Structure 1
Amino acid sequence: MRIAIIGYSGSGKSTLAAQLGQKLQVPVLHLDSVHWLPGWVERPREEEKQIVRAFLDEHDAWVIDGNYSALWHDERMEKADQILFLNFNRFICLHRAAKRARVFRGKTRPDMGKGCPEKIDLEFAWWILHDGRTAKIRNRYRKLRELYPGKFTEIKNQKALSAFTARALNT
């Protein structure tokens, strides 16, 4: 089983990836942890690509969460048996990110690289509310839905996510 989890910041991609990886007993790759070096410094793109390439080459089954179009996006979507799109309302995503920042205040989340303590600032809030939801980004999700209708699942709210998780984790 290969599962790609995509969607907006704060929608719960990493949490779902960890749950599915544990249930399915498959390795999980959080693309945020590949992208960020300690101190919230972006890793060089070629190094990121090498890490993701190695992960894809080494594993027949996996869960990968994150968007990052430069990190073998098309190949990840093609190879995935299931694509889960977390399409939550922007204000719900902001609320969830703020809650996450409170829970992990001063700590690094398990799905992030070392040295990246959880934070929410105006730049990230603006990303969640606006810059991360441009027409280009929305069109990328729409095209994936059209390209892979048989393996594309859109989850729009917590009720649907809870129902999906209950089914997936109890099988």
Structure 2
Amino acid sequence: MKIAIIGYSGSGKSTLASFLGQHYNCDVLHLDKIHFTSNWQERTIDEMANDISRFMLQSDWIIEGNYSTCLYEERMREADCIIYFSFNRFNCLSRVFRRYLKYRGHTRPSMAEDCNEKFDFEFMKWILLDGRSNKYVKQYKAVIKKYPDKTIVIKNQKQLNHYMKQVN
């Protein structure tokens, strides 16, 4: 099984990817983990694309994250299932703040080493505004339109809980 998980920051993509990875005994690639190196330094698109390409050679995979400049269409096309998280912005902000409280001063498992959890104005602005620009909304809608038979849209925690119970 090949699963692509996309959607808004703070909606629960990493948590679901880890859950599904354990459930299906399948490797998970958290794109944040390969986008950054220590202390939030960004890697090049080519470096990321090389890592993603190698990972996608596996017969089963779960890739979590957006990064539309890095083999996005290839990931969507090859995925057997696309899970799109469409939680509202305030719910995502609340979830990110709780995540910050949990991991403050530490690196969470789905992040590159030495990238301690942060909650700053720039990230808040991304969650509330920039990450929901027309460009991203159109991108998500295009995936749903192009792959309706293999896309699952999850809009809230209740739907996420229901999905996770179905998987078990």
Compute the TM-score of the two structures, normalised by the length of structure 2.
0.99
CA deviation vs aligned residue, 1:121-157 (integer Å, no higher than 9, x gap): 0000000000000011001111111100100110000
Amino acid aligned to 1:69:
S
Determine the C-alpha separation between the residues in 2 that align with 1:104 and 1:35.
19
Determine the C-alpha separation between the residues in 1 that align with 2:121 and 2:24.
37
Q: Does 1:6 align with 2:1?
A: no
Amino acid aligned to 2:3:
I
Q: Does 1:15 align with 2:15?
A: yes
Map 1:51-130; keep pairs closer than 5 Å. Answer: 51-57=51-57, 59-130=58-129
Equivalent residue for 2:133?
134
Amino acid aligned to 1:2:
K
Structure 1: 4+ residue segments shifted above 2 A = none
Map 1:21-32; keep pairs closer than 5 Å. Answer: 21-32=21-32
Q: How many residues align?
A: 168
Amino acid aligned to 1:126:
K
In structure 1, stretches of 5+ residues that fail to align are none
TM superposition shift of 1:67: 0.5
TM superposition shift of 1:44: 1.7
Determine the C-alpha separation between the residues in 2 that align with 1:150 and 1:142.
14
Determine the C-alpha separation between the residues in 1 that align with 2:49 and 2:74.
12
Identical-residue share of aligned pairs (%): 48
Determine the C-alpha separation between the residues in 1 that align with 2:22 and 2:70.
24
Compute the TM-score of the two structures, normalised by the length of structure 1.
0.97
100-109 vs 44-53, which moves further: 44-53
What secondary structure, in the 3-state scheme, does the structure 2 residue paired with 1:9 have? Answer: coil
In structure 2, stretches of 5+ residues that fail to align are none
Determine the C-alpha separation between the residues in 1 that align with 2:76 and 2:44.
23
Equivalent residue for 2:146?
147
Determine the C-alpha separation between the residues in 2 that align with 1:136 and 1:112.
25
